[in-house]
Amino acid sequence: MSTKKETKDLLKIIKELHNINDFNVLLETILHEAKKFVRADAGTLYLKQNDRLYFYYIENDTLFPDGGIESKYTYFNQSIPIDKKSLAGFAASTGQALLIDDVYKLPENLNFTFNPEFDKKSNYRTKSQLVIPLVGKGKKIFGVIQLINAKYGGKIVPFSTSDKVHVSFLADHAVLALEKAELAREMVMRMVKIAEMRDPYESGSHALRVGEYSMILYCKFAESRGVPVGERSIKKEAFRAAAILHDIGKAGISNEILAKNGHYSEKEKLIMYRHTVYGARLFPLNGSLWDRIAREVTLNHHERWDGSGYPGKIDVDKDPIILKKGKSGKEIPLSARIVAISDVYDALRSHRTYKEAWSHEASLQYIKRQSEKLFDPELVKIFVNINDTIKTISENFTESYYS
C-alpha cells in the first residue's frame, strides 16, 4: 500500500469515526477499522472500568470467520487487571504502545509476559501483536486496542513501525470521537434515570438490555434482507438508543398509577397507555434519523401484530389524547416490532416484587407462542435463532457494562 493511499484511507476512517454518535457502535468501528487497516487476523478492544480492562469487542477471522456480532459476547464481563504484567495492562498503565514480533519469544527481562491460556483453549496461535492505548485529555485511559497476527500473502508477519504510527494516529482521533460520544451516552442514561426514578418497576439495566437485544435483532434482520453494511451501521446506533429510551414517556405518568404496575382500573389503563404518546412527543417527526426512530419506538412498542395493542392510529401532537384501534402487521414500524419482542422477553426474565423471573427457555417459548399474535413472525424466527446470544446478554449484562 502506497503512503499516499494509506493516508487517504486513514483520513476516510477518521472522518467516519467522527460521524458516529453511539459510544458502543463507535468502539466496534474503531476495532474493526484498525484491524482491517493493518491486515490483522484478530483484535480485541478493551475498555477501562475502575482498575481493570474489560473485553468489549473481539474480532478473529480464524475463530469467527463469519464476523457475526455474536462474537462480541464470547468473553462477556471478563477482564484483566491494569498492571504491567500483561501486554494490554502494560499499555494501559504506562500509556506506551507495544510492537511485538513474536509473543512467545519475549526477552525475560521485560515487566510484562504473554499469557498463552487463550491459545491453548481455542487452539489458536498468537504471534505478532500491536498494542495501542486509547489516551484522552489529562492522560485519561479509555482502553486499549490489541491487534494480533498481521498477515501478508496468507502468512503471519510482524507489524511494521508504519503500522504502529498509523494506528497510534487513528487512536488519537478515535479518543476525540469517544469523548464526544460519551457525552451523548451520558445524556441517554440521564433520560433513562428520569424514567427509572418515576417507575419503581423499571431499571436502567432493563432498558440497556432491551437496547442490546434490539440492536442485535435489527442487525440480523438487516443482514438477512441484504441491507448494505453502511446503512446497517448508521441505523443500528439509532435502534439501540431508541430501544433504551422506549419507556421514557412514563416520566409523564403519576407515581400512583405507575406503582400499580398492571393492576389498573379501565380508566387507569387509558391513562397509563398515554406514556407512549408522551414519549413520542419528545422526538420531532422532522428531526434526525435518531429522532425519527426514537419517536417510532416510544409510540409503537406496545402495538401488537394482530392489532390488539395501543395507542393506535392517533395524532401524537393533538390534545386530548384519544386512543384508537391498534395498528397491525407491518403498519407497525420495524423498529417498534423489534423492541416489542425485546421488551417482553426481558420483562419475563426479570424478577419483580409481584412475580419471579422466568427462565430463558420459558421466556423463549412464550415469544414463540405469541408469533403472529403479538409479534412479527419473521422477527420471532430470527430472535429464536440468536437465542444463545440473547441468553448470554440476559444473564451477564448489567448497567456497569454500559457505564
Per-residue pLDDT of the chain (403 residues; tens, 9 = 90+): 557 778 889 999 999 898 888 888 888 899 999 999 999 999 999 999 989 999 988 999 998 887 666 666 667 678 999 999 999 999 999 999 999 999 999 998 998 999 999 899 989 999 999 999 999 988 899 999 999 999 999 899 999 999 999 999 999 999 999 988 888 888 888 888 887 777 766 667 899 999 999 999 999 999 999 998 878 888 888 899 999 999 999 999 988 888 886 678 999 999 999 999 999 999 998 888 889 999 999 999 999 999 999 999 999 999 999 999 999 999 999 999 999 999 999 999 988 767 799 999 999 999 999 999 999 999 999 999 999 999 999 988 765 555 5
Identify whether the C-beta of residue 204 lies closer than 8 Å to the C-beta of residue 192.
yes
Give the separation between CA 81 and CA 17, rounded to whole angstroms. Answer: 28
pLDDT at 348: 95
CATH of domain 199-402: 1.10.3210.10
pLDDT at 294: 95
Nearest CA-CA partner of 149 in 42, 20, 263? 42
pLDDT at 256: 86
Give the separation between CA 221 and CA 232, rounded to whole angstroms. Answer: 10
CA 186-192-195 angle, to 5 degrees, is 150
Q: Which three cell numbers stand for residue 350?
A: 426479570
DSSP 375: B
The answer to whether domain 3-180 and domain 199-402 are alike in fold is no
Identify whether the C-beta of residue 277 lies closer than 8 Å to the C-beta of residue 299.
yes
Q: Is 327 helix (H, G, I), strand (E, B) or coil?
A: coil
pLDDT at 182: 85
CATH of domain 3-180: 3.30.450.40
Identify whether the C-beta of residue 168 lies closer than 8 Å to the C-beta of residue 132.
yes
pLDDT at 22: 81
Nearest CA-CA partner of 112 in 131, 134, 139? 131
Please, where are the H alpha helices in 134-228? 161-198, 204-224
- Distance between terminal CA atoms of the chain? 39
Please, where are the H alpha helices in 19-123? 23-37, 87-94, 117-122
For the chain, what are the domain ranges?
Answer: 3-180, 199-402
pLDDT at 203: 66
98 DSSP β-pair partners: 131
pTM given for the model = 0.80
**Whole-number Cα distances in Å, 355 to 261, 347, 348:** 11, 10, 9
Nearest CA-CA partner of 349 in 338, 336, 358? 358
